[in-house]
């Protein structure tokens, strides 16, 4: 399923960023779209120079270990270390260089897809292909449990090493190409992807940027939902939720024609594909539900930018989002009854709460596909706009939230509505307890001060440090706290 997760971050220094648009970084989960490609050539050997040590660099630390582990017995450990030393000294230049996406797509198809690889392989194309293959592996959790930028760069270098050895054994390496240069190409491209997308705090890759990158390759599936995708989305939302720099997240489809957001479950894999085919009834957990819960439990506002048609889990996984913007040309279908299954992705909880029980029952009983502007769907989407306006509008909303709203307030209020008590009296008690703490919090002081001083607000509170004392209240019995109405 093609998806972008835009993580909106906020800088602490308001003077430097005042008047600028809020920066964002993108996480691509794609089948035929790639986030970036490289167009850099370099040859020779690459010893580390000067006083630079890549082990002191957050972007590169551990990359050599990852590369050596995944390259097997290639014997390239020293080569990886030398190349990383050179890469670190070129970070600023790489951040300023353009990327050749088409070259990356073409190279990956040639060496790892169904392309024609009869021609001799040059170091540039092998490096491009290796970096894109590493992106695919990274998204599928094949980085040894390490979802850092250094793991991604290490994977790219190891794939280049293995690809060069393969082509060399076949006698298909172009004249003038070297293994060092192929690995350098892969490392440069992988590093540039992070820097250009905001993946470094220190390299200027976006104002206050953060990157969590993942990719899925599902040809001709119209962004269909698959088992491996569950882990990628779940990990991405967990990472974004935990990072205090992230202020807002956008989930959208990357279909350049804005026709398909998600076509639902990939039926070619069968129902129930969630990565554990041997699970018993008691052990089974719906993959769509895992994604929905990751979105629901994300400590950042999530905006779903539904820029094309969405069916089944393509719709239901967006229900936990705080805001849903949809294309007026999109078709929406909750077709479970027509497939002999039932609602999933926690949608039997979310859907009736969002649109009412009557409309929810109608939609799932008939199981039809409706235009986004149909009266039955009126309360499901906060805005219905032209297909080319879906993502821009979502970005505008995310920027507004990131710049003006307390991260603590938005999360707590979402949970107050979804996890609130069952009576007005108990709700009054809960709200009173939360307000008592919030009145004494740093965000309340900043919100009041900025309003009185007529200046832009600069909220710094986080759920990790500034959540109200009773949070998470749904775990405890409020009646035991001793408070009285």
pLDDT digits (tens, 9 = 90+) for 234-250: 999 999 998 888 899 99
Please enumerate, as own/partner, the contacts of 109-115 that have beta carbons within 8 Å and a separation of 24 or more: 111/163, 112/136
pLDDT for the residue 113:
67
The percent of residues above 90 in pLDDT, for the chain, comes to 41
pLDDT for the residue 373:
96
Q: Does domain 406-481 bear CATH number 1.10.12?
A: yes
| pLDDT (average), residues 303-319 | 94
| pLDDT (average), residues 145-171 | 81
pLDDT confidence band for 353 (50 / 70 / 90): very high
| pLDDT (average), residues 379-402 | 95
pLDDT for the residue 417:
95
> Does residue 253 have a pLDDT over 70?
yes
> Does residue 445 have a pLDDT over 70?
yes
C-beta atoms surrounding 30 within 10 Å: 23
What is the rounded distance in angstroms from the CA atom of residue 130 to the CA atom of residue 123? Answer: 10
Do residues 312 and 331 lie in contact, with contact meaning Cβ atoms separated by under 8 Å?
A: no
Do residues 430 and 436 lie in contact, with contact meaning Cβ atoms separated by under 8 Å?
A: no
- Closest among 2, 479, 455 to 261, alpha carbons compared: 2
What is the rounded distance in angstroms from the CA atom of residue 296 to the CA atom of residue 293? Answer: 5
- Closest among 430, 440, 413 to 299, alpha carbons compared: 413
What are residue 5's DSSP bridge partners? 27, 251
Higher pLDDT, 52 or 441: 441
Higher pLDDT, 245 or 69: 245
Q: At the top level of CATH, which class does the domain 227-397 belong to?
A: alpha beta
pLDDT for the residue 20:
36
pLDDT confidence band for 44 (50 / 70 / 90): very low
pLDDT for the residue 219:
41
Instruction: Break the chain into its structural domains and give their ranges.
Output: 36-196, 227-397, 406-481
pLDDT for the residue 192:
80
Place of tokens 């001083």: 453
At 384 the three-state DSSP class reads strand
Place of tokens 């691509």: 28
pLDDT confidence band for 433 (50 / 70 / 90): very high
Sorted by sequence, the CB contacts under 8 Å of residue 310 that are 6+ apart come out as 261, 262, 264, 318, 330, 331, 332, 333
Sorted by sequence, the CB contacts under 8 Å of residue 65 that are 6+ apart come out as 154
C-beta atoms surrounding 396 within 10 Å: 14
Q: Is the CA virtual torsion 36, 172, 143, 235 positive or negative?
A: positive
pLDDT by residue (tens digit) across 129-151? 888 888 766 654 444 444 566 77
- Tell me, rounded to whole angstroms, the distance of Cα 459 from its chain centroid: 24
């Amino acid at each position: 399923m093609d998806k972008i997760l835009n993580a909106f971050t906020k800088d602490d220094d308001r003077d430097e960023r005042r008047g600028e648009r809020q920066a964002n970084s993108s996480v691509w989960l794609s089948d035929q779209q790639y986030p970036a490609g490289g167009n850099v050539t370099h040859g020779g050997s690459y010893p580390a120079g000067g006083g630079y040590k890549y082990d002191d660099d957050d972007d590169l630390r551990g990359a050599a270990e990852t590369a050596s582990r995944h390259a097997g017995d290639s014997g390239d450990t020293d080569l990886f270390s030398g190349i990383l030393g050179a890469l670190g000294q070129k970070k600023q230049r790489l951040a300023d260089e353009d990327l050749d996406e088409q070259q990356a797509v073409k190279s990956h198809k040639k060496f790892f897809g169904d392309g024609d690889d009869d021609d001799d392989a040059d170091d540039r194309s092998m490096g491009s292909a290796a970096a894109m293959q590493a992106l695919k592996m990274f998204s599928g959790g094949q980085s040894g449990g390490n979802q850092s930028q250094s793991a991604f760069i290490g994977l790219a270098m190891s794939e280049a090493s293995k690809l060069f050895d393969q082509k060399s054994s076949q006698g298909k390496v172009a004249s003038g190409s070297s293994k060092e240069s192929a690995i350098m190409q892969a490392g440069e491209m992988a590093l540039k992807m992070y820097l250009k997308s905001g993946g470094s705090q220190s390299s200027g890759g976006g104002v206050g940027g953060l990157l969590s990158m993942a990719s899925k390759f599902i040809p001709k599936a119209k962004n269909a939902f698959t088992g491996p995708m569950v882990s990628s989305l779940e990990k991405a939302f967990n990472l974004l939720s935990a990072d205090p720099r992230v202020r807002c997240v956008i989930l959208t489809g990357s279909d350049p024609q804005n026709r398909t957001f998600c076509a639902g479950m990939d039926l070619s894999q069968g129902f129930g594909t969630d990565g554990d085919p041997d699970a018993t009834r008691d052990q089974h957990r719906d993959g769509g539900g895992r994604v929905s819960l990751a979105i629901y439990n994300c400590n950042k506002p999530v905006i779903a930018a539904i820029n094309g048609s969405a069916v089944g889990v393509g719709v239901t996984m967006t229900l936990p989002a705080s805001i849903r913007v949809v294309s007026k040309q999109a078709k929406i279908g909750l077709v479970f009854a027509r497939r002999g299954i039932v609602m999933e992705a926690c949608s039997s909880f979310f859907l009736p709460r969002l649109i009412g029980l009557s409309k929810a029952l109608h939609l799932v009983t008939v199981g039809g596909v409706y235009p986004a502007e149909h009266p039955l769907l009126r309360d499901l989407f906060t805005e219905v706009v032209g297909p080319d306006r879906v993502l821009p509008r979502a970005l505008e909303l995310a920027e507004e939230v990131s710049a003006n709203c307390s991260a603590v307030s938005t999360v707590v209020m979402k949970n107050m509505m979804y996890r609130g008590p069952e009576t007005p009296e108990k709700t009054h008690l809960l709200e009173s307890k939360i307000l008592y703490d919030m009145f004494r919090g740093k965000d309340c002081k900043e919100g009041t001060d900025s309003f009185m001083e007529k200046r832009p607000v600069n909220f710094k509170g986080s759920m990790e440090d500034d959540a109200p004392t009773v949070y998470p209240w749904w775990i405890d019995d409020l009646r035991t706290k001793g408070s009285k109405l």
